[in-house]
Amino acid sequence: MPVKVVPLTCPNCGGRLEIPTDLKQCFCTYCGTRIAIDDGSVTIHVHNYDEAELRRIELENERHEQEEREEASRAKKRKVWRIALLAYIAITLLMAAISGAIKSVLPVVYDGVSTLMAIFLIVGAIALFLQRPGKKAKRG
C-alpha cells in the first residue's frame, strides 16, 4: 500500500515540503522548523519569541513588584506614624491633667513642670512633623 504524501509549505521559511501522513512530526529540510502532524492532518506549531518583548514584560513585572514593596513600606510607615501621633496626644493630655493637679498641690513645682510640658509639646510636634509619611511620587 503506497504512503500518502501531503504537500506543505514551511511556516517559517516558505519552503515546499511533501510530508508522509504516517509521521507524527517532521522537520523542514530547508530551515529545520519542527512540524507536528496529528491524525493525518497537518498541525503546525511555530514558536517565534520576541526576546525584546519578553524582556520588556519581565522588567515591567519587576517594576510592578518593586512598586508594591514600596507601597507596603509607605503603608507601614503611615501606620507607625499614626500610632506615634495618638501616643503624643495621649501623653499631652496626661501631662495637662498632671500639671493641673501639681498647680493646685505644689505651686512652686508648677513652673518647672509647665516648662517641661512646653518643651515636650514643641519637640514632639516638630518630630511628628519631620517624620510624617510622604505621598506617593507621581509618575510623569
Whether 117 has a pLDDT exceeding 60, the answer reads yes
Percent of the chain with pLDDT over 90: 21
pTM for this model (two decimals): 0.50
Q: What is the mean pLDDT of residues 13-27?
A: 80
Q: How far apart are CA 25 and CA 35, in angstroms?
A: 6
40-65, pLDDT tens digit by residue? 555 555 556 677 788 888 999 999 99
Is the Cβ–Cβ distance between 10 and 42 less than 8 Å? Answer: no
Whether 136 has a pLDDT exceeding 90, the answer reads no
Three-state secondary structure string covering the chain:
CCCCEEEEECCCCCCEEEEECCCCEEECCCCCCEEEEECCEEECCCCCCCHHHHHHHHHHHHHHHHHHHHHHHHHHHHHHHHHHHHHHHHHHHHHHHHHHHHHHHCHHHHHHHHHHHHHHHHHHHHHHHHCCCCCCCCCC
Q: Which pLDDT value is given to residue 42?
A: 52
Q: What is the mean pLDDT of residues 66-75?
A: 93
Q: Which pLDDT value is given to residue 140?
A: 46
> Which of the two residues, 136 and 60, has the higher pLDDT score?
60
Whether 68 has a pLDDT exceeding 90, the answer reads yes
28-37, pLDDT tens digit by residue? 888 888 877 6
Buried b / exposed e across 58-81, counting CB within 10 Å, b at 16+? Answer: eeeeeeeeeeeeeeeeeeeeeeee
Q: How far apart are CA 52 and CA 35, in angstroms?
A: 25
Q: How far apart are CA 61 and CA 71, in angstroms?
A: 15
Whether 72 has a pLDDT exceeding 50, the answer reads yes
Percent of the chain with pLDDT over 70: 84
